Amino acid sequence: MSDLIESYIKNLNFHNRVIGMRTEGITHEESLLQLPIPANCLNWQIGHILVYREDVLGIITGEDGSDPAEFAIYGAGSPAMTDGANAIDLDTLKSRILALTEPLEQALRSASAEHFAKMHNEERQMTVDDMVRFYLMFHEAYHIGQLEVLKELAEQNR
């Protein structure tokens, strides 16, 4: 199990570096630019990663996950961020993502194999480990991949 945990942590830190590279030099205003297709802006992508990292921490520790008001803005199914009125400042989102790294690492390392094997979502038949793997590996990679085009959009509009 320890190799798997270290893989999650390595992936988490890699994602942090990519987020940093894809958001470097992007202003909050630029983070709100929308593509002319049904998608969401860079600010939403970063906020989305944040609220799900908070949820993952809650899944591991058994404590509350993301703030419901923030989840309403950045969670799955939230409306497209078209005007930025509810948007959290990009630098704040990035700082909060980085601040979650240590608590996530500690939670991952301290949870037992039995805890990771527990059923977390009966409907989907997903264990705690399944949820962590999905959100920290696939889900984050999916949204981080979208940052490339959104960074280009911001730079193109300067």
Report the alpha-carbon distance of residue 96 to residue 7 in Å, rounded: 22
Tell me what the pLDDT averaged over the chain comes to.
94
Neighbours of 143 (CB within 10 A): 18
Q: Give the predicted TM-score (pTM) of the model.
A: 0.95
Give burial (CB, 10 Å; 0-12/13-18/19+) of 71: buried
| Spatial separation of the C-alpha atoms in residues 105 and 53, rounded to whole Å | 11
Across 23-36, average pLDDT = 95
Q: What is the mean pLDDT of the segment spanning 147-155?
A: 96
pLDDT tens digit string along 74-100? 999 998 888 889 999 999 999 999 999
| Local confidence band at 121 (pLDDT 50, 70, 90 cut-offs) | confident
Cβ atoms of 132 and 59 closer than 8 Å:
yes
Give all domains of the chain, ordered by start, each with its CATH number. 2-123+134-156 (1.20.120.450)
